[in-house]
Structure 1
Amino acid sequence: MKRRDFIHLSSLGLGALMTPGVMAMGNPVSAERLIEPGIDVAAKKLLADTALNAAKAKGATYSDVRIGRYLSQSIFTREKNVQNISNTETFGVGIRVIANGTWGFSATSDVTPEGIAKCAETAVAIAKANSKLQKEPVVLAPEKGHGEVTWNTPIKKNAMAVPVKEKIDLMLAANNAALDNGAAFVNSAMFMINEQKYFASTDGSYIDQDVHRMWPNLTVTAVNKASGGFRSRQGLSTPMGMGYEYMDGLASEKIPNAAGFNSYRYSYDMVEDAITAAKQAKEKIAAKSVLPGKYDLVLDPDHLGLTIHESIGHPLELDRVLGYEANYAGTSFATLDKWKSGDFKYGSDIVNVIADKTQPYSLGNMGYDDEGVKCKEWDLIKNGVLVNYQAIRDQVGILGENASHGCSFADNWSSVQFQRMANVSLKPGTEKMTPMDMIKNVEKGIYILGRGSFSIDQQRYNFQFGGTVFFEIKNGEIAGMLEDVAYQSNTQEFWNSCSAICDQDDYRFMGTFFDGKGQPSQSSAVSHGSSTTRFDGVNVINTARSI
């Protein structure tokens, strides 16, 4: 049964079977609550065994249980004022089963032995109800049980434990720095996530994971009072799988870019970025509007990550390729026949793209996925050729493989897990090359940093991408700032125009907290790594003239 059919059937005539709490949202709590310990591992194991035993007693041939505590803190400021502080917690259990060869799922916020047993029984009842319309039984790739294991994001400082005042002081300092350097308006935000996830299955896994992520951001606007013109510049931070050390310099590593200011690898200087943003927002007001035409593009990792996400990450999700997401998120041009041919040129020979859930500091860095599969790295595109997709336990058999790729996730205990994008990253070049080295060989080009608006078709083929800041390249040198830039191409043409990639020393992440997919929709966090990369002869349009 396709996942879409499973969700659809589960909603038809089965409402009375659903356990209260399935649609549980985050409950407001105090900041102090966010650093209180949850229930211990031994208690989680007892509760998990209650679910597994109850499901088996009702006829399940397979079951897994996820006990989740999801914590978040968000802080928002504007100019010299705090706008909002939000602390939330949600806690509950999601139980998935196979009975009569069919999936069933139920969830509850009643985290007691009685509540969990009832939830497991409901999941089995849903599976049996669905099985009346099941055409083919679910077949899972084998997965050896891992026993009792733990995995933690290797943080140095828990962001939740940092006093709220300290975080606000930093954000207001950044705001003031922007205002002092000519900004008319500025807002800043800080998002912090802690997922405490416990997974158990009838395969024999009991996996306890503690996941931390954070994302600081800002937007600065400058105004020319004489002309009434204004421009904004977003922050050039990226969300990371790190603790507060991302903000306070404990993991400090800045990389000078080709435009004369710093990019950030494993740290973020919010004040420095605010100052640069204010200066660049003013420059953007007077910047030359781009002349449409063909340009060689030099793309910074914080920009290229979004293009990777949309033109490689999504089209190589196997459920999208198979049409399971057609109604909501579209399909994929990268169909199975192209993969089976063994010679489909997705990109040029230097394009090597991996999926990897184990990259340190990335948003997708995990020990195990939500099916209890140990996370790993695998090739998607090798020397420009499409070689694989992203697939989970009930999908990999289609590819002739007998082991899941380890990329099944749910965004909450109340959501059913399904195939999600891994960190999809472009491998760096093998020869020593800095962004300035790359630009020296460009006669007519544009250097693009930061993400902007974008548009891509339902098959992830024809697209248009903007950015945050743009610099004209003339005869191997930066010749000033440009505005109104967007580039258009199709996925295969674009990646086959890739002519140079900087080496590992320039490698950085771009990421998102809010990658939406599925029905009901879920959000996941994912990173995309790359070094500065060159693409030749790409069509550039003027967005101001196109309106």
Structure 2
Amino acid sequence: MIKNSDKLNKGGTLKRRDFIHLSGLGMGALVTSGFLLNGNPVSAAQLLHPGLENAEKKTLADIALNAAKSQGATYTDVRIGRYLNQFLFTREKNVQNIANTESYGVGIRVIAEGTWGFSATNDVSPDGIKKCAETAVAIAKANSIMQKEPVILAPVQGVGEVSWETPITKNPFEIPVADKIDLLLSVNAAAMDNGATFVNSNLFMVNEQKYFASSDGSYIDQNIHRIWPTFNVTAVNQSEGKFRSRQALSAPMGMGYEYLDGLASEKIQAPAGLVSYRNSYDMVEDAVAAAKHAKEKLSAKSVTPGKYDLVLDPDHLGLTIHESVGHPLELDRVLGYEANYAGTSFATLDKWRQGDFKYGSDLVNIVADKTQSKSLGLTAYDDEGVKCKEWDLIKDGVLVNYQAIRDQASIIDESESHGCCYADSWDSVQFQRMPNVSLKPGKDKLSAHDMIKGVEKGIYIVGRGSYSIDQQRYNFQFGGQLFYEIKDGEIVGMLEDVAYQSNTQEFWNSCAQICDKDDYKLFGTFFDGKGQPSQVSAVSHGSATTRFNGVNVINTGRQI
């Protein structure tokens, strides 16, 4: 809490510019909107501090590698991590919170006596790192009592000393906090001026500075940036006691502040007069549209349940991909190693081994990839020092592979890791995490407008909404943000109370058309949870507008 009474105006409230200044000095850990912001509070200026030189990191890493080896480790990796966050929150005309945090330390993972051991410390000194390495080996030896089979790692060739960073043109932390707050408040004002009753806007900026070293001979320095501007707009009909909301149609991206330039050349004119954004984002323009949509939803017709052809925009389809393809093809879920947090998977090894399991129609080609430009998963090497790549998960509708890391690869007869190992902090042990999982665009020229012309009875759905899916990632229900009725090839009006139900295999086998690459864009999430203790990761899902035939639609029957 800020207790500097000299900064209060006569009305007893903090002036906005003073709030920004004081908040920039650090306000502690933040829990809001279900997101946990970890780290120590720092000044906004501290976020731009360069940190240790690579030569210093290498010296510290070598101390850990040598100490672990001397205690009997047969493999060691060291991650020196500096994790920086700036999260901004506003509502209507007010700044709600600004948090700048830094988390800094080292995590050391070893194999000793055929068993994993892990230890972490924020004492990033030679003595602290040596003790941490020795502790990791002691933990591995203690764990070995319960180990039935030794850990088998897929081989990795050491790469020596290399560096990589997200290709950005504007470091978000270099933009003054006051300018970013002004943007958010202008978003709020634009929404209010166009009929919104309530609006909150947020800006999340993340910088991961990660140094990885291993006994395989790699010393990898990576500097990763991500950004997510978002808001929620609500319109109220007070006479009827109703309200409706619309969230931002932005996607979090692996980009810098240039994402908020809102270049006209980056817009896609979508059906129903919607503007879709790719590689840049006009937050104010989207807020104006959101206010109008929220008002329109107040009087929209309630959907009639039944079978419809669905035309799903990438801003919506990305979440369905995430839940029905991304998670069930994580190999630890398939094997049952991951069960407590969000379940296992229906896509068991026997289905993969049969070689012809039809996950989807022949049009469905889904790839995993951590090298996709501007994506949240974009990086050169994973947290095991494995070079990242693209690989097929579903090819021509057939299940062909999973997501596997070094100690899983041999289980599915792979000779190398897929490069999808990740830890969300220096004090978290790295494990298999979802890479970008994306539906390839169609090969034939086809726009979303042309797709709709061929639909006799359907619904066009935009934006993520509420959803549910069972513990095997099979039976599901998805909502959305905006719904438009399609009759005889034309959009005839907005609908409300829409959700569709299906199971994963039935749904993907109903895929009938996919727009081409000109319609392709990314969806994403900053906060994909997994594991116990839980970790979060950032992941994107690319797709073009896609048609699914004969899907069951229900009326959610909200009475507000």
Give the TM-score normalised by the residue count of structure 1.
Answer: 0.95
Q: Which residue does the alignment assign to 1:448?
A: 461
Pairing partner for 2:543 from 505, 509, 530: 530
1:215-230 aligned within 5 A:
215-230=228-243
1:117-156 aligned within 5 A:
117-156=130-169
1:388-537 aligned within 5 A:
388-537=401-550
Q: Which residue does the alignment assign to 2:312?
A: 299
The yes-or-no answer on 1:173 pairing with 2:186 is yes
Q: Which residue does the alignment assign to 1:278?
A: 291
The alpha-carbon deviation at position 249 of structure 1 amounts to 3.5
Query: Counterpart amino acid of 2:434?
Result: M
The yes-or-no answer on 1:158 pairing with 2:177 is no
Q: Which residue does the alignment assign to 1:4?
A: none
Structure 2 contact 263–281 (Cα < 8 Å) conserved: no
Give the direction of change, closer, same or farther, for the CA distance of 1:213–1:545 in structure 2 (3 Å limit): closer
Q: Which residue does the alignment assign to 2:22?
A: none
- CA distance in 1 between counterparts of 2:273 and 2:430 reads 44
Cα shift readout 1:357-401 (whole Å, capped 9, x = no counterpart):
000000000100000000000000000000000000000101111
- CA distance in 2 between counterparts of 1:79 and 1:62 reads 54
Q: Which residue does the alignment assign to 1:268?
A: 281
The alpha-carbon deviation at position 228 of structure 1 amounts to 1.9
Pairing partner for 1:337 from 336, 346, 350: 350
The alpha-carbon deviation at position 25 of structure 1 amounts to 4.1
- CA distance in 1 between counterparts of 2:541 and 2:376 reads 9
Query: Counterpart amino acid of 1:457?
Result: D
Cα shift readout 1:307-354 (whole Å, capped 9, x = no counterpart):
000000000000000000122221110000000000000000000000
Structure 2 contact 84–208 (Cα < 8 Å) conserved: yes
Structure 2 contact 263–282 (Cα < 8 Å) conserved: no
Structure 1 contact 355–424 (Cα < 8 Å) conserved: yes
Q: Which residue does the alignment assign to 1:366?
A: 379
Q: Which residue does the alignment assign to 1:66?
A: 79
- CA distance in 1 between counterparts of 2:237 and 2:330 reads 46
Q: Which residue does the alignment assign to 1:106?
A: 119
Cα shift readout 1:82-141 (whole Å, capped 9, x = no counterpart):
110000000000000000000000000000000000000000000000011111000000
- CA distance in 1 between counterparts of 2:234 and 2:342 reads 33
- CA distance in 1 between counterparts of 2:144 and 2:265 reads 54
Query: Counterpart amino acid of 1:384?
Result: G
Query: Counterpart amino acid of 1:244?
Result: Y
Query: Counterpart amino acid of 2:252?
Result: P
Range with bigger deviation, 23-32 or 526-535: 23-32
Question: What SS does structure 2 have at the residue aligned with 1:295?
Answer: strand
The yes-or-no answer on 1:43 pairing with 2:56 is yes
- CA distance in 1 between counterparts of 2:366 and 2:61 reads 38
Query: Counterpart amino acid of 1:420?
Result: R
Give the direction of change, closer, same or farther, for the CA distance of 1:250–1:65 in structure 2 (3 Å limit): farther
Structure 1 contact 107–414 (Cα < 8 Å) conserved: yes
The number of residue pairs the alignment matches comes to: 525
The yes-or-no answer on 1:381 pairing with 2:394 is yes
- CA distance in 2 between counterparts of 1:229 and 1:129 reads 60
Query: Counterpart amino acid of 1:123?
Result: A
The alpha-carbon deviation at position 468 of structure 1 amounts to 0.5
Question: What SS does structure 1 have at the residue aligned with 2:271?
Answer: coil
- CA distance in 1 between counterparts of 2:340 and 2:97 reads 36
Q: Which residue does the alignment assign to 2:30?
A: none
The alpha-carbon deviation at position 226 of structure 1 amounts to 2.1
Q: Which residue does the alignment assign to 1:19?
A: none
Structure 1 contact 24–109 (Cα < 8 Å) conserved: no
The yes-or-no answer on 1:242 pairing with 2:227 is no
The alpha-carbon deviation at position 493 of structure 1 amounts to 0.1
Q: Which residue does the alignment assign to 2:12?
A: none
Query: Counterpart amino acid of 1:248?
Result: D
- CA distance in 2 between counterparts of 1:331 and 1:25 reads 28
Query: Counterpart amino acid of 1:284?
Result: K
Q: Which residue does the alignment assign to 2:28?
A: none
Question: What SS does structure 2 have at the residue aligned with 1:148?
Answer: strand
Cα shift readout 1:146-166 (whole Å, capped 9, x = no counterpart):
110011000110001100011
The alpha-carbon deviation at position 230 of structure 1 amounts to 1.1
Q: Which residue does the alignment assign to 2:335?
A: 322
- CA distance in 2 between counterparts of 1:55 and 1:517 reads 29
Q: Which residue does the alignment assign to 1:8?
A: none
- CA distance in 2 between counterparts of 1:319 and 1:116 reads 30
Question: What SS does structure 1 have at the residue aligned with 2:508?
Answer: helix
- CA distance in 2 between counterparts of 1:325 and 1:421 reads 13
The yes-or-no answer on 1:81 pairing with 2:94 is yes
The alpha-carbon deviation at position 251 of structure 1 amounts to 9.1
Q: Which residue does the alignment assign to 2:24?
A: none
Structure 1 contact 246–252 (Cα < 8 Å) conserved: no
- CA distance in 1 between counterparts of 2:149 and 2:60 reads 32
- Provide the alpha-carbon RMSD of the alignment: 1.3
Cα shift readout 1:476-533 (whole Å, capped 9, x = no counterpart):
0011100000000000000000000000000001100110001111000000000000
Cα shift readout 1:39-69 (whole Å, capped 9, x = no counterpart):
0100000000000000000000000000000
- CA distance in 1 between counterparts of 2:503 and 2:263 reads 41
- CA distance in 2 between counterparts of 1:213 and 1:251 reads 22
- CA distance in 1 between counterparts of 2:54 and 2:356 reads 49
Structure 1 contact 93–116 (Cα < 8 Å) conserved: yes
Question: What SS does structure 2 have at the residue aligned with 1:541?
Answer: strand
Structure 1 contact 358–377 (Cα < 8 Å) conserved: yes
The alpha-carbon deviation at position 544 of structure 1 amounts to 1.2
The alpha-carbon deviation at position 248 of structure 1 amounts to 1.9
Q: Which residue does the alignment assign to 2:104?
A: 91
- CA distance in 2 between counterparts of 1:32 and 1:383 reads 51
Structure 1 contact 24–414 (Cα < 8 Å) conserved: no
Q: Which residue does the alignment assign to 2:218?
A: 205
Question: What SS does structure 2 have at the residue aligned with 1:259?
Answer: helix
- CA distance in 1 between counterparts of 2:210 and 2:39 reads 16
Structure 1 contact 157–244 (Cα < 8 Å) conserved: yes
Q: Which runs of 5+ in 1 are unaligned?
A: 1-22
Structure 2 contact 312–546 (Cα < 8 Å) conserved: yes
Q: Which residue does the alignment assign to 2:10?
A: none
Give the direction of change, closer, same or farther, for the CA distance of 1:211–1:172 in structure 2 (3 Å limit): same
